[in-house]
Amino acid sequence: MPMKKRNIKRVAAVTMALALVLGLFAVPEFNAHAEEELPTGLEKPIVEYKEVTEEEFNKAIAESKSASENVYNEYVYGESAYKGTDSFWSQFSKPYYDYSFSRLSDSQKSLYYNLYQELYSMIEGGVNLTDNVSDDKGKRHYLTNTVFGSGLSKDDAMEVAYLIAYNAPEFYFVSQYISIVYDGSTGRHGVRMGVYDGMQSGSSRSNYASLIKSKVNWYLNQVSTSLSAYDKEKKIHDLLIDNCYYGSSNTSYSQSCASAFLNPGGETVCAGYSEAFALLCYARGIPVISITSSDHEWSQVQLGNYWYAVDVTHDDVNGSRYRYFNKSDNTMLTLGRVAHTIEGFWSSVGRESCPYDYGSEPVSGGTTWYNGINYSAVYDFDYYINTYGDLKNAFGSDSNAAIAHFVNCGMNEGRQAKSTFNVQSYRNQYQDLRLAFGWNNLPAYYNHYRTAGIYEGRNGTGCTSLQNPIHVFWGTDLSPIYDYNYYNQYTDLRNAFGGDDMAMMTHFLSCGMNEGRRGNVGFDVYSYRNQYSDLRQAFGWNNLNAYYSHYLNSGRREGRAGTGCNTLQNPIHTFFGVDFSPVYDYEYYKSHNADLRMAFGDNDMDYFAHFLTNGMNEGRQASAGFNVWTYASNYADLRNVFGWNLSGYYLHYINYGKKEGRIAV
């Protein structure tokens, strides 16, 4: 451990001990692991508060109106919608997600909307800023035009500015500097937000906006809109961890999402993590706000009925990845007391609490919710518990246990939990879903119906037989050689695959064709092989797969018959242009040689090959019209030439003897 870190820990220990002795405060249970590595990088807003005269205030109003009159866009009250500005940005911050915003007074809301309008007009260009100040660290901040409000106290105006700074992440250019002017005689306030040095011109913001849009879209393209809210949130959380890293106090744009999206490697600190997380969650329809302590910023999201705390920063830097993911306020305090002690500002404006760790929420009254997901489209407690006696005996009226069983076991078992949805029917009816999910991934069918199918008007029940069985493989229609319903007649396959049409077709392609199984009524591979000598010569006898493929790709178009031939047609009898039919006949050779029948079955090529390589040398008779022994005994001239070279007699008869009228039987 570095010396500096050890010294800090010693000082902290002494300080804690002294405080305990003096009874200054009570300390909750200590979590050593949580306190070791909790980087915090929040820079609290620097607020410059200046009281001015009515004359000075009116002058500021006039200057602000003059500077901004050409850049305002038409604003639609109550919505993040501005005509003339790229709609890309309107998908983000939604103040009505924020419980704090809903508690603002009407005067505060008016200031909020006007301030939001001013900043929104600057996202992709707008006014060039010149007024600037430097903070005590030497950082320069450019100031926006002044936005005014009346009927506000100093704290009222500060609360509005803070909410904009923390929970409008699309304003990537806003720094942590806030300037407030106050006219004590009229009770009016004016607010100016700080802008990062380098982003003060409209052209620079236009360039940065383009870069951020590109990066945001890169993230969003990896977060499917078909996912559940929880899965979207988790994907965004993981993407930020994988593509960002915790920087230092010198990190550029550290208090803005711009750091995570623009800096090399995604270098950022807690504020950048939190606001990038919020921006991406907004875009995927997940309510989210950023929360702060004295020196740290994290997030909380709404899933279903509850809000949960999320600290992407600490999940990234401590290596646990989900230690700070979807936790309660109490759990966050236990894991990191100082870092997650919510600052007093939030007590003032109010926020939604996070009462539960995700997955530990109370469930009652036959709920259809589990782990933040509503299963009402496929689940009804009364139906489920009353349909299955084993579940009623096991769980009784315990709705918590019932829905947990359904999600964790029942869907995998294919249990029906609602009268309007049966997973076997749903799978039977829709081929596109079988192609997408396979046969045995039953939970995917339930989840598709509840998230998409019910809204697409798909039927959840009423289909008892498989519809549109698959018969296309990589764009090739196999129906000329394969039909699921015909192939399903094989008992062994039914027992092995049930009704799984994809498994059936896979078996046909990988095994069935090689085994010579018949895949439909219109094609019999043995008939096809029997009928066509040219194919036997091309493919051989045992390469059955080639016969199926030939018929599918060529034979059918050539008008070849796929069935109806039970005996071998046109047995081969020619070798390198020599016709052996005077001495060889397939049927004769097969019928008079039992040993060959045992070895070759009906394979005409094997019989012919045997005759050429062995049969002639062995003196086997292969035709009713030629017996080699008779031929040799009849002709002394041949015996003088060929002696015991029996194949010479066969070849002589083919080439000369038959034409010479010699007797061979």
DSSP states of 488-507: TT-HHHHHHHTT-HHHHHHH
Give 408's strand partners: none
**Is 405's pLDDT higher than 60?**
yes
The Cα–Cα gap between 359 and 462 comes to 34
Structure tokens belonging to residue 549: 């493929």
The stretch 632-640 carries a mean pLDDT of 93
The Cα–Cα gap between 423 and 450 comes to 12
Instruction: List strand residue ranges (DSSP E) for 550-613, in order.
Output: 574-575, 578-579
The stretch 63-89 carries a mean pLDDT of 46
Contact yes or no for 93/166 (Cβ under 8 A):
no
Helix, strand, coil: what percent of the chain each, to 5?
A: 50, 10, 40
Q: How confident is the model at residue 69 (pLDDT cuts 50, 70, 90)?
A: very low
Q: Give residues with Cβ within 8 angstroms of 556, minimum separation 6.
A: 480, 562
Residue 90's pLDDT is: 76
**Is 498's pLDDT higher than 50?**
yes
DSSP label of 584: B
**Is 78's pLDDT higher than 50?**
no
Return the minimum-mean-pLDDT range out of 135-144, 314-323, 556-565, 622-631.
314-323
Residue 57's pLDDT is: 80
| Residues comprising the chain, all counted | 665
DSSP label of 90: G
The Cα–Cα gap between 123 and 120 comes to 5
Residue 419's pLDDT is: 87
Pairing of strands 245-246, 188-196: unpaired
Residue 360's pLDDT is: 74
Residue 352's pLDDT is: 85
Q: How confident is the model at residue 183 (pLDDT cuts 50, 70, 90)?
A: confident
The Cα–Cα gap between 467 and 602 comes to 40
The stretch 235-245 carries a mean pLDDT of 95
Q: How confident is the model at residue 35 (pLDDT cuts 50, 70, 90)?
A: very low
The stretch 1-30 carries a mean pLDDT of 35
Q: What is the dihedral of CA 378, 382, 384, 387, to 10 degrees?
A: -130
Residue 362's pLDDT is: 62
**Is 195's pLDDT higher than 60?**
yes
Task: Encode burial over 619-631: b for 16+ CB neighbours within 10 A, e otherwise.
Answer: ebbbbebbbbeeb
pLDDT, mean over the chain: 85
The closest of 6, 60, 288 to 192, measured between CA atoms, is 60
Residue 64's pLDDT is: 64
End-to-end CA distance of the chain: 105
The Cα–Cα gap between 252 and 43 comes to 13
**Is 70's pLDDT higher than 50?**
no
Residue 7's pLDDT is: 39
The Cα–Cα gap between 465 and 479 comes to 19
Residue 222's pLDDT is: 95
The closest of 65, 47, 51, 49 to 183, measured between CA atoms, is 51
pLDDT over 70, % of the chain = 88
**Is 251's pLDDT higher than 90?**
no
With 0-12 / 13-18 / 19 or more C-beta atoms within 10 angstroms meaning exposed / middle / buried, residue 406 is buried
Contact yes or no for 270/317 (Cβ under 8 A):
no
Q: Give residues with Cβ within 8 angstroms of 633, minimum separation 6.
A: none
Q: How confident is the model at residue 369 (pLDDT cuts 50, 70, 90)?
A: confident
Residue 95's pLDDT is: 53
Q: How confident is the model at residue 75 (pLDDT cuts 50, 70, 90)?
A: very low
The stretch 134-144 carries a mean pLDDT of 92
Return the minimum-mean-pLDDT range out of 63-77, 325-339, 448-462, 576-590.
63-77
Q: How confident is the model at residue 89 (pLDDT cuts 50, 70, 90)?
A: confident
Residue 129's pLDDT is: 95
The distance from CA 660 to its chain's CA centroid, rounded to whole angstroms, is: 82
Residue 582's pLDDT is: 95
**Is 80's pLDDT higher than 60?**
no
pLDDT over 90, % of the chain = 57
The Cα–Cα gap between 68 and 65 comes to 5
The stretch 620-645 carries a mean pLDDT of 94
Q: How confident is the model at residue 94 (pLDDT cuts 50, 70, 90)?
A: low
Residue 23's pLDDT is: 36
Supply φ then ψ for residue 403, to 5 degrees: -70, -30
Q: What's the Cα-to-Cα distance from 577 to each of 310, 321, 412, 573, 574, rounded to whole Å?
A: 83, 76, 65, 10, 6
Residue 580's pLDDT is: 94
The stretch 471-477 carries a mean pLDDT of 89
Q: How confident is the model at residue 18 (pLDDT cuts 50, 70, 90)?
A: very low
Residue 86's pLDDT is: 54
Residue 101's pLDDT is: 76
**Is 583's pLDDT higher than 50?**
yes
**Is 623's pLDDT higher than 80?**
yes
The stretch 23-29 carries a mean pLDDT of 33
The stretch 353-382 carries a mean pLDDT of 81
Higher pLDDT, 473 or 430: 430
Supply φ then ψ for residue 473, to 5 degrees: -130, 120
The Cα–Cα gap between 361 and 510 comes to 49
Q: How confident is the model at residue 1 (pLDDT cuts 50, 70, 90)?
A: very low
Residue 552's pLDDT is: 94
Higher pLDDT, 67 or 599: 599
The Cα–Cα gap between 419 and 294 comes to 53
